Amino acid sequence: MCGILAVLGCSDDSQAKRVRVLELSRRLKHRGPDWSGIYQHGDCYLSHQRLAIVDPASGDQPLFNEDKKIVVT
Residue 56 has pLDDT above 80, yes or no: no
Q: How confident is the model at residue 67 (pLDDT cuts 50, 70, 90)?
A: very high
Q: Which tens digit of pLDDT belongs to each residue from 24-37?
A: 998 988 888 887 88
Q: Where are the domains of the chain?
A: 3-72
CATH of the domain spanning 3-72, picked from 1.10.3470, 3.40.50, 1.10.10, 3.30.1070: 3.30.1070
Supply the Cα-derived Rg of the chain in whole angstroms: 13
State the catalytic residue, choosing from 2, 5, 28, 46. 2
Q: How confident is the model at residue 66 (pLDDT cuts 50, 70, 90)?
A: very high
- Three-class DSSP category at 20: helix
**Is residue 44 flagged as an active site residue?**
no
Averaged over 57-73, what is the pLDDT?
A: 80
- Three-class DSSP category at 1: coil
